Copies of this chain bind each other. A is one copy, B any other.
Amino acid sequence: MNEKIKKNLERLKELNIDMFGKDFLLTWEKSDDEIEATMLFTEIIKEMHKNNISTKVFDSGIAVPVFRDNSTRTRFSFSSACNALGLGLQDLDEKKSQIAHGETVRETANMISFLADVIGIRDDLYIEEGDRYQREVASALDFGYNEGLLHQRPTIINLQSDIDHPTQSMSDLSKIKDHFGSLENLKGKKLVMSWAYSPSYGKPLSVAQGMIGLLTRFGMDVVLAHPEGYNVMDSVIDVAKENAEKSGGSFTISHDMKEAFKDADVVCPKSWASYSVMEQRRDLLHAQDFDGLDALEKSCLLENADHMNWEYTKEMEALTNNALYMHPLPADVTGLNCEHGEVTREVFDSHLKDTYHQASFKPFAMMAMIWLSKFENPIAKIEEVLENNKKRLNK
């Protein structure tokens, strides 16, 4: 068995985890040990895939992706992850379903779940509603399972809500740990989650929220930087503050990009909409007021345009401590896919390997989350699978 896997297994046995049968909705609902376990499993499973070892533990069963917003990488990560575990996929395409027909969330959740093991939900468009929807589904499934209508309780994986984007932030954590060598090494490092200018509007807040809600747990000095008015949810700010205090790190908010980036070890410059814009947008979407949406877009883009200097450039990078550049992708890259964006092409291209590497953890993070929810003794199970050492493709 390879050394990395061995070391992770040893560490795992020291952790105290209680994730069997649980959903994965917000990282801050999981204990420090559970977060670390998820990360260690992510690494083990990635290593297994690299070494061509099968991770197929389901003989059959379906996973249900529910995407209420477009997606490429999250969709592929989820499909790939479920496939690698042995699950089939059946999309819940709300346009092709009878949901408009008037059925309730409780009903739909049960109707799709008779043979389902996992439900992945992306619902990030509607502020104050995405997370609530996921919990409504969860509670419907509890009803069905407790009443004996479902033979198994599908695990819900949050594929991005209005509040958190845990499969992203857990991938980010894995990347940052890989970069610095250990979780221990994160202590005292400066991480900046920064707003950046974009010629589009209405991007979810949950990437930024996910980052500050998770990365404050490891003793880092975390800075959330954004122009005034682009604030995120208060409840997540509270989580970040509390995490920082507990972990011996710090959490601060800055409205000056340059100051924020000074001596940073990790930077993630990325656009998002302000909370109040997301509220207006949600109401207009519900009202199907397309003229209103156009007007909102125009006014927001004008507002964004006041902050065009929030761009990650060579000069900005020079202020940092040779910082690791992170982005969940796709980025708005000046001169590549837009005239003015979040980052210059020069800087973006020089970090291409890092951003792709960051993304490469996502399917394995999803597999880790599912694994930890599905096996009573997830460590014994992975040891069993490693022992079998079945090849994924016997070349």
Contacts and interface: CB of A to CB of B under 8 A. Distances in A.
Nearest to A54: B59
A83 interface: yes
Contacts of A99: 72
B72 A102 contact: no
A50 interface: yes
B72 A97 contact: yes
Given A59-B54, A104-B337, A49 B90 contact: no
A180 interface: no
Interface in A53-94: 54-62, 64, 67, 70-73, 75-77, 79-81, 83-86, 88-90, 92
B58 A392 contact: yes
Interface stretch (A30-38, A107-115, A156-164, A259-267): A107-115
Given A49-B151, A149-B356, A84 B60 contact: yes
Interface stretch (A10-18, A188-196, A311-319, A357-365): A357-365
B72 A108 contact: yes
A124 to B, nearest CB: 12
Identical copies in the complex = 3
B49 A67 contact: no
Contacts of A50: 151
A201 to B, nearest CB: 13
A98 interface: yes
Contacts of A359: 110-111, 114
Q: Give the interface residue-count category, chain A.
A: 35 or more
A392 B144 contact: no
Contacts of A386: none
Contacts of A96: 67, 70-71, 75
Interface in A334-373: 336-338, 353, 356-357, 359-360, 362-363
A181 interface: no
Nearest to A341: B102
Contact of A98 (B55, B58, B149, B330): B330
Interface string A179-211: 000000000000000000000100000000000
Contacts of A75: 90, 96-97
Contacts of A6: none
A92 B76 CA distance: 9
A92 B72 contact: yes
A286 interface: no
A302 interface: no
A24 to B, nearest CB: 18
Given A60-B85, A111-B356, A114-B363, 19 more contacts: A49-B151, A55-B60, A58-B393, A59-B392, A64-B76, A72-B97, A72-B99, A75-B90, A77-B114, A80-B90, A88-B89, A102-B332, A102-B337, A102-B338, A104-B337, A107-B329, A107-B330, A115-B363, A374-B393
Interface of A: 49-50, 54-62, 64, 67, 70-73, 75-77, 79-81, 83-86, 88-90, 92, 96-99, 101-104, 107-108, 110-112, 114-117, 144, 147, 149-151, 200, 329-330, 332-333, 336-338, 353, 356-357, 359-360, 362-363, 374-376, 381, 390-395
Q: Which 4 A-B pairs have the closest CB atoms?
A: A102-B337, A103-B330, A80-B115, A72-B97
26 contacts: A49-B115, A49-B151, A50-B151, A56-B60, A58-B393, A60-B84, A62-B76, A67-B96, A71-B96, A72-B98, A72-B108, A72-B111, A72-B112, A73-B112, A75-B90, A76-B111, A84-B115, A102-B332, A102-B337, A107-B330, A110-B356, A114-B359, A114-B360, A115-B363, A144-B356, A150-B360
